[in-house]
Every structure is written in C-alpha cells, then in structure tokens.
Amino acid sequence: MNDCLFCKIIDGKIPSKKVYEDEHTYAFDDINPQAPTHVLVVPKKHVRGLKEAAAEDAQLIGYCQLAAANIARQRNIEDGYRTVLNVGPRAGQSVFHLHVHLLGGRNLQWPPG
C-alpha cells in the first residue's frame, strides 16, 4: 500500500525504533506512548483493520498477539500487560493498517476508557 504509514515504516522509508521483526511482523515503539511499554506490532501484510480482515488473516492476527507476548517477556512485564486492537476512528484507530498495541509497565485500570 503506497500511502500507508505503517507500510512505509516496515519498508524502512520512515524511521522507527524497531523492537522486534520476523518474517510476518514488525514491531516498534509508539511515538506517543500511553504506558512505559507501548509497542505496536504490525503484520507485514497490509490489512486495513480487524473489520476488514478475512478468514485467511486469522492466523496472522493470532501471530501478532504471540509476537506481543514474546516482546512482553523480553521487557519483563509478564506480571501485567494489555494487547489492544482499535477498530475504527471512534475507538482511536488513526492508522488504517491492522496493528496490536502492547501496553504495560504500570498498573492498567479497568475499564480502559
């Protein structure tokens, strides 16, 4: 996707603070962190969002969650973290490339907002 911010980050056209990368995902620190750990886990395949995902994307979405769990282990925040998929502008989605937010490193309240 030529005009997608996250596709440009994955391609190295826009700099990011890379945290993790493998054949399916690219993860980087959020530029506006909402917790001490706030990492975005992005599939390398462009999927606009969860509501646009197809059945064949299910494994990739789960893989993003497992990548987030791996990063949480590396960051030593396994005592409490949250993974979030924002769906649509009213939920806070501002970049329309599916991504998982990994938040942790502090006490997280419920309900979240």
Known catalytic residues?
99
Centre a 10 Å sphere on the Cβ of residue 7 and count the other Cβ atoms it contains: 19
Residue entry with tokens 């690219």: 26
Where is 66: in which H helix or E strand?
helix 58-74
d(C-alpha 52, C-alpha 70), whole Å: 26
